[in-house]
Structure 1
Amino acid sequence: MDEPRGRGRPRKNPAAPARWTPPEGWSRLVAWISPEEKKALKHVAVEADVSVADLVRSLASGLAEGVISHEELLGHVSRGKQVMEKIPTLFERDERFQVVDRPRAECAWVFDGAGVGTEKLDGTNVRLTVRSGRLVRVEKRRNPSKAQKQQGIVDGWYVDTDESSADDKWILAAAGNTDVSEWPDGEHPCEALGPRIQGNPLALDDHLCVPFDFQAPTVLDVPRSYQGLREFLTTLDSKFSPGHLAEGIVFHHPDGRRAKIKRKDFPRSAAAA
């Protein structure tokens, strides 16, 4: 019985090594990618019936010929990195999962004074896609399960909402109540807020979505130390809903990096001090 043949296209001359001579002036590009990224590229390449190299080259060709602009590409890359990657907390945590006065190395830029602070809103992470001032898609964030985390999947992803699902009712209500007529075209990560979302800590009267990329409330003169932030957050009034405490602060670096700290991250006894 013959053994099943593996995937791939046989060479015209199996005895000869595969060779390809690039056109004059061409150069070779090498990049390191994760196993998951490699798998994703291969999946798309198989669907398109091309090699991974041809797939990457088609993207470069699209940029060179103006089929896709560099602004569009960078926008997708930036949004993907900023939204889906987990935002690190400023300080290390103890065995009770509360922060201690030990800054995390990747957040050193915050303590060096870089970036600006915005109010962290306590709701549900969603993504709204807008075209010509109209809402065309509503997605919600899905976080990896415990089993998936054990498999090395740590970052979340977005899935479509379902109008017939009770779980998505209030997310869709928030999206429907949000005026996007002046929003730029694109995919906008947002926080969905309102009476039926996350206990409504800001005591809002209705549901709506606040985009992270251009409407997050800026907070001035934010301290950059453990003690300073601890005390600052015990009295920080929400700019979005005056009269209610803000959940925390998200620091934004000009290059797209972010870092966060929440009032409840600190030990309860310290927060009450």
Structure 2
Amino acid sequence: MDEVKGRGRPRKDPERLARWTPPEGWSRLVAWVSPEEKKALKRVAVEAEVSVADLVRALAAGLAGGAITHEELVGQVRKGMQVMEKIPTLFERDGDFRVVDRPRAECAWVFDGEGTPTEKLDGTNVRLTTRSGRLVRVEKRRNPSKAQKQQGITDGWYVDTDEHGPEDRWILTAARNTDVAGWPDGEHACEALGPRIQGNPLQLDEYRCVPFNLEIPAYGDVPRSYRELRDYLAELESRYAPGSLAEGIVFHHPDGRRAKIKRKDFPKSA
């Protein structure tokens, strides 16, 4: 007779968890994080002997109660944003994480007039593989962690999406909604867009993937100085979603280098 296995470790207080309801006026906060970010949060939560949800609530409570100052929190957020940045921004940033009129050395080629300017689409970077006009593989981009960057690993890579993973649901929806019948065989880096991806700044009604090498809208005569770019982006209409403002511009060098600038990078009083 086969041994009946238990259901695993029981909850400490299942009755309390099952009956708990949030107090009136409370709201739920949802955020997408990478596997590395999730592990980092879990590590701190374990050391503090709380759940990840309680860890986030403790941060919010500390800020609301004055135990954590605004300056302390903003300083850590800026450090995290610098780690997250994947494509270099054209200009250096100030203490408020806004760009200043000081070009980055690694982007000098842009100011020399090199590179093709295209619309920056605010979505999730994915890679679709096609064969005979059919989608055969969907991957998502992974970027090196801070520790990996310190080890000299600077370039990102792609990993397979999880067919059953909730974190990949909208990426897969976008991929399946994309007509690849006319695409050449091969791997195509794309931006996945849609209502539940990155806040949907273009107000799109459907999900789809836009391949960088086939469909990303290009612009001509884009200025390349600080003030001209600021004024240009303030009124630049999206060519992908007319009626909405474009998020920014990405310059593509023939050798594969890229550089970006977004409308919201500039200080409002610039």
TM-score, normalised to structure 1's length? 0.64
Q: Which amino acid aligns with 1:259?
A: A
Which residue does 1:267 correspond to in 2?
A: 267
Q: Check if 1:129 corresponds to 2:91.
A: no
Note the C-alpha offset of 1:258: 2.0
3-state DSSP of counterpart to 2:195:
coil
Bigger Rg over Cα: 1
Q: Which runs of 5+ in 2 are unaligned?
A: 1-84
Which residue does 1:218 correspond to in 2?
A: 218
Q: Residues 258 and 147 of structure 1: is their aligned pair in 2 closer, same or farther, counting only changes over 3 Å?
A: closer
Which residue does 2:205 correspond to in 1?
A: 205
Q: Distance in 2 between matches of 1:87 and 1:167?
A: 23
* Aligned residue-pair number: 186
Note the C-alpha offset of 1:150: 4.2
Q: Which runs of 5+ in 1 are unaligned?
A: 1-84
Q: Distance in 1 between matches of 2:258 and 2:195?
A: 28
Alpha-carbon RMSD across the aligned residues, in angstroms, is 1.7
Which residue does 1:256 correspond to in 2?
A: 256
Q: Residues 259 and 169 of structure 1: is their aligned pair in 2 closer, same or farther, counting only changes over 3 Å?
A: same
Equivalent residues of 2:86, 2:143 under 8 A apart: no
Q: Which amino acid aligns with 1:269?
A: S
1:192-251 per-residue CA deviation (whole Å, 9 max, x = no partner) reads 000010111101110000011121101122111000001111111100001111111011
1:75-108 per-residue CA deviation (whole Å, 9 max, x = no partner) reads xxxxxxxxxx943211122233221111122222
Q: Distance in 2 between matches of 1:184 and 1:86?
A: 27
Equivalent residues of 2:123, 2:192 under 8 A apart: yes
Q: Distance in 1 between matches of 2:86 and 2:146?
A: 16
Q: Which amino acid aligns with 1:167?
A: E
Q: Distance in 2 between matches of 1:205 and 1:267?
A: 30
TM-score, normalised to structure 2's length? 0.65
Q: Which amino acid aligns with 1:142?
A: R
Which residue does 2:77 correspond to in 1?
A: none
Which residue does 2:169 correspond to in 1?
A: 169
3-state DSSP of counterpart to 2:269:
helix
Q: Which amino acid aligns with 2:234?
A: T
Q: Which amino acid aligns with 1:264?
A: K
The runs of at least 4 consecutive aligned structure 1 residues that moved more than 4 Å come to none
Note the C-alpha offset of 1:154: 3.3
Q: Which amino acid aligns with 1:177?
A: N
- Output aligned runs, 1:37-52, within 5 Å: none
Q: Distance in 1 between matches of 2:156 and 2:116?
A: 25
1:19-40 per-residue CA deviation (whole Å, 9 max, x = no partner) reads xxxxxxxxxxxxxxxxxxxxxx
Which residue does 1:105 correspond to in 2?
A: 105
